[in-house]
Amino acid sequence: MLKVRTAAGRLAVEGNACRRGLSYAQEEVLNPRRVLTTTVPVVGGKRPVVPVRSVAPIPKESIPQALSELRQLFVRAPVKVHQVIAQSVAGTGIAVVATWPVLAIEAEEEVQREKEAG
Amino acid sequence: MVVIGGGPAGLAAAHAATEAGARVTLLDRHPELGGVLPQCIHPGFGLKLYKEELTGPEYAWRWIAQLGEVQVFVETMVFAIEPGLRVWASSAEQGVLAIDCRALVLAMGCRERTRGMLGIAGTRPAGIMTAGTAQRLVNIYGLMPGKRVAILGSGDIGMIMARRLAWEGAQVVGVFEIMPYLCGLRRNYVQCLLDCGIPLHLSHTVIRVNGAKRLSSITVAPVDERLRPQAARAFEVEADTLLLSVGLIPENELTLAIGAELDPATRGPVVTSRMETSVPGVFAAGNVVHVHDLADDVSIAGQTAGQWAAAYACGGSSPGGKRLRIRPDANVRAVVPQLLVLPDVLEQGASLLLRAGCHHEGPCSLELVDAEKEQVLASKELPYARPAEMIHWWIPPRAARHLDRASQLLARIRVGR
Ligand SMILES: Cc1cc2nc3c(=O)[nH]c(=O)nc-3n(C[C@H](O)[C@H](O)[C@H](O)COP(=O)(O)OP(=O)(O)OC[C@H]3O[C@@H](n4cnc5c(N)ncnc54)[C@H](O)[C@@H]3O)c2cc1C
């Protein structure tokens, strides 16, 4: 178990098994960040949504803002892995990219789908 | 060689076998490779193998991109295996396929436990599903399963879905766990439940589901120390959706059909340190053998299975040598592999994966004991023992020398000194 004590504005970390644990503990207390992952709708794709991620962790409190920005978006198929979906979310300067490829459906398939959807 | 299942286990096995010179056919019933990973869109994969934090789809994509000269059939379901190793599969495109092979890798993954297996009383409304089904609905099909969600079981998939649904605007009313401790990883408790303010109720279970067409509420009760629900203290929680995250079971139909011995503790096939089952030439890896916490470990097991299956396919049979059985004993629920091939272990060491059968926050020691002489032959200190976290034990060749004396080993965890 990780233990973090704060004294006189400094952090003392105990119980970390490696250096990653040390930096994780410091980050988690001072500036908690998370990698944001969600899905974005795809138009004309073999799948209706594509999974996306922020390329780096973003501040925890920016997550709601980032999610609501991503909710406004859609992408057109084909989508490639690591294609940029948004240049920057929630004013962080951190980009959001696709994490899985989505192939485009053939033109006739698309017509068929639209018909079925009414 | 044939590999059944295109998840991380099958991908790693197919890749390693091809590298070792075998001709490999990989079969999966889904339209896309990657197994369950394409739906696990959250980060937390690859820390061990790649030293970076990948999402499930990215992790799967790395393996798919480097697969190499493997013949792949997707949307192809294997429905039977005959002795002498003929694999029967069917697909809309190919019709029925019969593939003869010299060696086979089982990599079919696992299945989630369902409401039927829990026997929860009540009506049969819509809105009750496994956490993995909800994960597939949201992340692959872009559909929300409901608006007010309760989760039974504190497994990882349940906690991850709690956050996912909260982020998508659902109200997640709580996670109910029958055990007095968390069943998934602590990291997920912090980043999924605490971050989103979702309450976790330990020692609570769902005793009844209510609602006619659609779930309207669940009845929750605390349990006593013997896990018996206290009906007198039950309360109702409004919810239109109940997700079950109550455990996984290896996908066993094909394993049983070829007559491989099963381990009642893991509920998957008994395997050697080469990942070979009791049927010669049939290897297995990943969640079909036992449920893993991390996809990285699944890939590593897949590589081992692929390498040895390729050696078998190219050479005809597994080289002999003493096989040493390990059985779970005090405070250990399961050990994989169940059999050590001694010549290999003396040369390369042994890698054991164990599940603790007890929950103990504090130092304890893991031991391999000679079953007859009750003598400790190898040991390892642990900071704690938690059933939710797989224990990895690497025994180097030098330490493995001592194991040679025994004819059977017991794996135990000794609590307290
Ligand atoms: C629903 C679910 C969600 C999960 N989420 C996470 C998570 O978020 N994080 C995490 O670390 N771990 C997660 N896991 C654990 C995860 O499954 C493992 O880490 C890893 O993916 C297991 O790899 P595998 O190759 O053994 O099995 P899988 O990835 O399950 O792959 C097995 C493949 O075999 C195919 N198959 C099965 N039977 C047949 C047949 N008869 N014919 C043809 N093909 C067949 C299946 O279609 C599937 O594609 C999850 C597991 C499940 C079941």
Q: How far apart are CA B97 and CA B87, in angstroms?
A: 8
Residues B130 and B233 in one domain: yes
Which domain-ending residue is among B293, B318, B343? B318
Q: How far apart are CA A116 and CA B138, in angstroms?
A: 21
* Total residues found in chain A within this entry: 118
Which domain-ending residue is among B277, B302, B318? B318
Instruction: Give the per-residue pLDDT at A108.
Output: 65
User: Which residue matches tokens 């779930």?
Assistant: B215
Q: How far apart are CA B148 and CA B123, in angstroms?
A: 18
Facing A60 at nearest CB: one of B42, B168, B195: B195
Instruction: Give the per-residue pLDDT at B116.
Output: 83
Closest CA to B183 of B336, B317, B293, B20: B293
The domain total for chain B is 3
Residues B242 and B131 in one domain: yes
Instruction: Give the per-residue pLDDT at B417.
Output: 56
Closest CA in chain A for residue B191: A34
Is the distance from CB of B175 to CB of B154 less than 8 angstroms? yes
- Mean pLDDT across chain A, nearest whole number? 86
Residue type, B224: D
Residue B18 structural domain: 2-111+249-318
Alpha-carbon dihedral of residues A38, A41, A47, A48, nearest 10 degrees? 110
Return the residue whose CA atom lies nearest to atom 8 of ligand 1. Answer: B40
Please judge whether B42 and A101 are an interchain contact, meaning their C-beta atoms are less than 8 angstroms apart: no
Query: What residues in B contact A113, CB-CB < 8 Å?
Result: none
Q: How far apart are CA B354 and CA B361, in angstroms?
A: 17
Instruction: Give the per-residue pLDDT at A8.
Output: 63
Please judge whether B43 and A49 are an interchain contact, meaning their C-beta atoms are less than 8 angstroms apart: no
Instruction: Give the per-residue pLDDT at B230.
Output: 96
Instruction: Give the per-residue pLDDT at A7.
Output: 66
Q: Answer positive or negative: Cα dihedral of B155, B160, B166, B168.
A: negative
Instruction: Give me the CATH number covering residue B355.
Output: 2.60.40
Residue type, B346: L
Instruction: Give me the CATH number covering residue B39.
Output: 3.50.50.60
Query: What residues in B contact A1, CB-CB < 8 Å?
Result: 361, 384
Residues B231 and B143 in one domain: yes
Residues B133 and B235 in one domain: yes
Residues B78 and B155 in one domain: no
Instruction: Give the per-residue pLDDT at B388.
Output: 82
Which domain-ending residue is among B318, B336, B365? B318
Classified by CATH at the fold level, domain A33-117 comes out as CPE0013-like fold (3.10.530)
Please judge whether A35 and B191 are an interchain contact, meaning their C-beta atoms are less than 8 angstroms apart: no
pLDDT tens readout for residues B128-140: 999 999 999 999 9
Least confident of A63-72, A102-111, B266-275: A102-111
Instruction: Give the per-residue pLDDT at B387.
Output: 86
Instruction: Give the per-residue pLDDT at B185.
Output: 86
Report the percent of chain B where pLDDT is more than 70.
99
Residues 6+ apart with CB under 8 A from B384: A1, B360, B361, B362, B363, B364
Q: What one-character DSSP code corresponds to residue B275?
A: -
Q: How far apart are CA B81 and CA B103, in angstroms?
A: 12
Closest CA to B130 of B151, B108, B110, B109: B151
Instruction: Give the per-residue pLDDT at A11.
Output: 67
Residues B140 and B253 in one domain: no
The predicted complex's ipTM stands at: 0.89
pLDDT tens readout for residues B95-123: 999 999 999 999 999 999 988 888 899 99
Average pLDDT over residues A11-38: 76
Q: Taking a contact as any Cβ pair under 8 Å apart, which residues of chain B between 321 and 380 contact chain A?
A: 361
pLDDT tens readout for residues B370-399: 999 999 999 999 999 988 889 999 999 998
Is the distance from CB of B310 to CB of B1 less than 8 angstroms? yes
Alpha-carbon dihedral of residues B63, B66, B69, B74, nearest 10 degrees? 40
pLDDT-based confidence at A16, cuts 50/70/90? confident
pTM above 0.90, yes or no: yes
Is the distance from CB of B2 to CB of B105 less than 8 angstroms? yes
- Residue A61's CB: how many other CB atoms inside 10 A? 10
Please judge whether A99 and B41 are an interchain contact, meaning their C-beta atoms are less than 8 angstroms apart: yes
Closest CA in chain A for residue B194: A60
Residues B218 and B143 in one domain: yes
B248 lines ligand 1 (CB under 6 A): yes
B35 lines ligand 1 (CB under 6 A): yes
Instruction: Give the per-residue pLDDT at A40.
Output: 97
Residue B288, helix vs strand vs coil: helix
Closest CA in chain A for residue B58: A99
Q: Express the helix, strand and coil content of chain A in percent, nearest 5 each.
A: 30, 35, 35
Q: How far apart are CA B148 and CA B129, in angstroms?
A: 14
Q: Six-digit token pair at B83?
A: 């002795």
Is the distance from CB of B54 to CB of B25 less than 8 angstroms? no
Residues of chain B with pLDDT under 50: none
Residue B139, helix vs strand vs coil: helix
Residues B156 and B203 in one domain: yes
Please judge whether B167 and A67 are an interchain contact, meaning their C-beta atoms are less than 8 angstroms apart: yes
Residues B124 and B237 in one domain: yes
Residue of B25, B27, B40 best suited for mutating to test ligand 1, as the one with most atoms within 8 Å of CB: B40
Query: What residues in B contact A101, CB-CB < 8 Å?
Result: 61
Is the distance from CB of B277 to CB of B261 less than 8 angstroms? yes
Q: What one-character DSSP code corresponds to residue A45?
A: B
Please judge whether B167 and A63 are an interchain contact, meaning their C-beta atoms are less than 8 angstroms apart: yes
Q: How far apart are CA B232 and CA B237, in angstroms?
A: 15
Q: How far apart are CA B175 and CA B184, in angstroms?
A: 12
Residue B370, helix vs strand vs coil: strand
Residue of B54, B78, B108, B129 best suited for mutating to test ligand 1, as the one with most atoms within 8 Å of CB: B108
Q: Where in chain A is the domain with CATH 3.10.530.10?
A: 33-117
Q: Six-digit token pair at B73?
A: 């059939």
